[in-house]
Amino acid sequence: MNVMNIKGIKRDYSVYLILLAWFVTVMSVVISFSVRKVVAYDPFGDLIYQSSNTDFEKEISEALESMNIGPGTMLHVVSDKPCFCDDMTNKYSEALYEKLEESGFTYKKAALMKGDQLSRYIVSTPTVITVGHDGRLKYLGPYATGLGCFTGDTDIEGIYAASIDNELPGPIVNAENVGCYCQG
C-alpha cells in the first residue's frame, strides 16, 4: 500500500512539472516576441530632423489635405501590413477618440504605404495625428510607449489637451519614444 502512495505522489509531481514546463515555455515565447517588437519610434531621427524645418507644418498639412483630412480630425495611421502593435493601440485610439468626439472631432483611419506623402515623415505605426479646429497640426506621434498591454504607458490626456489647445505655438511632434511599433 505504501508503494502505491509513493507512485501516486510521483504522478502528481509529474503533472505539476509538466504544467510548470508549459508555463515557462509560453512565457518565454511571449517575452521573446515582445522584446523584439520594442523599437525606437523614429529610429534614425528623420521625423525630428524634418520637424525642425520651418515648412514642416505646412508640408504635413498639404499631405493631410490630399487625403481629405480637414480641421477637427483625429487620424489613426496603421501599417498597410498586418502588425501586432497596430492591434495593441485599439484601446488607446478608442479612448482618445471618445474624448475628442466630445469636442467635435471626427475620426479617420489610414494605412501608411510606401510612396505616399505621409510615409516621407512617418516611419512607424501606429501613429496618431490630430488637426485642430483651427486647421493646424496639433499632435503627431505614437499613442504609447512600452510593450502595449503588458507595460505600455500612454498620454491620452496630453494628446487630447494639445489637440484642443488653440494657443500652442506649433505642433507637438512626439518622436523620441521606444515601444511596440511597426516599421517598414
In this model, does residue 54 exceed pLDDT 50? yes
Q: What is the pLDDT of residue 36?
A: 57
The predicted pLDDT at position 8 comes to: 52
pTM assigned to the model: 0.79
**Bond prior to 171 in cis (omega within 30° of 0):** no
Band (1; pLDDT cuts 50, 70, 90) = very low
* Together in a domain, 164 and 177: yes
113 with 59, same domain: the answer is yes
Average pLDDT, the chain: 85
Report, as an integer, the average pLDDT of 58-62.
93
Per-residue pLDDT tens for 100-142? 999 999 999 999 988 888 889 999 999 999 999 999 999 999 9
The confidence score (pLDDT) of residue 173 equals 95
10/99 same-domain check: no
Phi, psi of 93, rounded to the nearest 5 degrees: -60, -45
* Residues 100 and 26 both lie in one domain: no
Do 139 and 147 touch, CB atoms closer than 8 A? no
How distant, in Å, are the alpha carbons of 17, 32, 78, 88, 132 from that of 27?
15, 8, 27, 18, 43
pLDDT in tens, 17-41: 888 888 888 877 666 655 556 789 9
Per the CB < 8 A criterion, the answer to whether 107 and 101 are in contact is yes
How far is 85 from 88, CA to CA, in rounded Å? 5
Say yes or no: 29 and 57 in one domain.
Answer: no
Collapsing DSSP to helix, strand or coil, 46 comes out as helix
Residues 67 and 124 in one domain: yes
Query: What gap in Å lies between CA 85 and CA 125, rounded to an integer?
Result: 8
What residues make up the domain containing 20? 1-37
User: Virtual CA dihedral for 62, 64, 68, 74, nearest 10 degrees?
Assistant: -150
Interval 69-82 mean pLDDT: 94
Q: Output the pLDDT for position 149.
A: 47
41 in the Ramachandran plot: left (φ > 0), alpha (ψ -120 to 50) or beta? alpha
Q: Map grid coordinates 515601444 to a residue.
A: 179
- What's the mean pLDDT in 128-157? 84
Total tally of structural domains belonging to the chain: 2
User: In the predicted model, what is the mean pLDDT of residues 155-177?
Assistant: 91
